[in-house]
Amino acid sequence: MSKNLKILEVDLQVFAEGMGSGDGGTASGAAENGSLANSNGSDLSEVIYGKPEGQKDVADPKEAEATPADREKAFNDLIKGEYKDLYDAKIQDTVQKRLKSSKETVDKYNALTPTLEILAKKYGVDASDIDALNKAIEEDDSYFEDEALEKGITVAQLKEIRKMERENADLRRQMEERASQEQAERDVAMWMEQAKEAKATYPSLDLGAELGNPQFVSLLKSGIDVGTAYFVMHKDQLIPQAMQFAAKNAETKLTNKIIASGARPQENGMNPSASAVVKSDVSQLSKADRDEIARRVARGERITF
């Protein structure tokens, strides 16, 4: 027995029941002749027999629920497709607002510098020594005389009032700083949680390393989640990966659709040529189908059910 016939015997043993000697002869004849048509002349060369290797049975042809990767892909398609201009504009606006706030603080300090230098020169202290400058002003009674006279109180009383105001301002500032610190701790905890979720999509994400990037931190502080911020910072590497995933995902869905279509009974009025013909149910194979399978197996093709 030849090698091809041994393969035929193994793969076609499932069809043994109900087949007479005539079936085997016809199958062998078809295999030897290598014809694309069976005994009644119909062409079966385009029929797909069996299930693709590694393909699971499709019990329900409905689309599976979207996975995190599917949702991420859909999001990426939007921000680099139809909504790319709006998304880029939003990111740019957010970053610019953060930078503008920092620049305004620096500009205010620079605008105040000449005034500090004038006061420092008057009291003979270094303009960069704010504590010394404050002390010199507090000890200068002339600085308070006019205001004290206007309010009808002594200079000492006015100084005490100003001191209490400064202490209250310092207390408020400390409370704000404490609240800011607590908020920062909450933010970090939230970012760590988001990072855990994002790693399902981006396994290489390292939050500790990313927080060393001021632009990444700026995006987070503006309200953008960790996963989106990571994508923005690494889109040049991630987009090609997403495209590869999309191609593979589309191929898988197409295969599932073909198998599902072949597994369902054809409805009345449907054009059989509208989609590929898949025959994966052994009980529905005709003698012509078995002949065609025998021919293919003899050629070396592997068909499984």
Number of domains in the chain: 2
219 in the same domain as 73: yes
Helix, coil or strand: residue 279: strand
114 in the same domain as 200: yes
Q: Considering the domain boundaries, does residue 83 fall inside one?
A: yes
pLDDT of residue 26: 43
109 in the same domain as 55: no
**Is the pTM for the entire model greater than 0.75?**
no
Q: Which residue has the tokens 């500090």?
A: 116
Q: How many CB atoms lie within 10 A of CB 210?
A: 20
Residue of 232, 230, 238, 240 whose CA lies nearest to 208: 230
Residue of 195, 140, 192 whose CA lies nearest to 162: 140
The parent domain of residue 266 ranges over 3-65+262-298
273 in the same domain as 232: no
Quote the CA–CA distance of 193 and 200 in Å, as a whole number: 12
Tokens describing residue 16: 């043994």
Helix, coil or strand: residue 278: strand
153 in the same domain as 138: yes
34 in the same domain as 171: no
pLDDT of residue 62: 44
157 in the same domain as 11: no
Q: Considering the domain boundaries, does residue 252 fall inside one?
A: no
Residue of 166, 168, 223 whose CA lies nearest to 191: 223
Q: Considering the domain boundaries, does residue 251 fall inside one?
A: no
pLDDT of residue 195: 92
Helix, coil or strand: residue 245: helix
* Residue 48 DSSP symbol: E
Quote the CA–CA distance of 83 and 77 in Å, as a whole number: 9
* Residue 284 DSSP symbol: G
Tokens describing residue 29: 């004849």
Tens of pLDDT along the chain (305 residues)?
A: 444 444 444 444 444 444 444 444 444 444 444 444 554 556 777 788 777 655 545 444 444 466 777 777 777 777 777 777 777 777 777 777 777 777 787 888 788 888 888 888 877 888 888 888 888 877 888 878 888 888 999 988 988 898 899 889 989 999 998 998 898 889 889 999 999 999 888 888 998 889 889 999 999 988 999 999 998 898 888 787 667 666 667 767 777 777 666 555 544 444 444 456 788 777 788 888 888 888 888 887 888 77
221 in the same domain as 172: yes
Phi, psi of 26 (to 5 degrees): -65, -40
pLDDT of residue 22: 42
159 in the same domain as 35: no
Q: Considering the domain boundaries, does residue 141 fall inside one?
A: yes
pLDDT of residue 108: 81
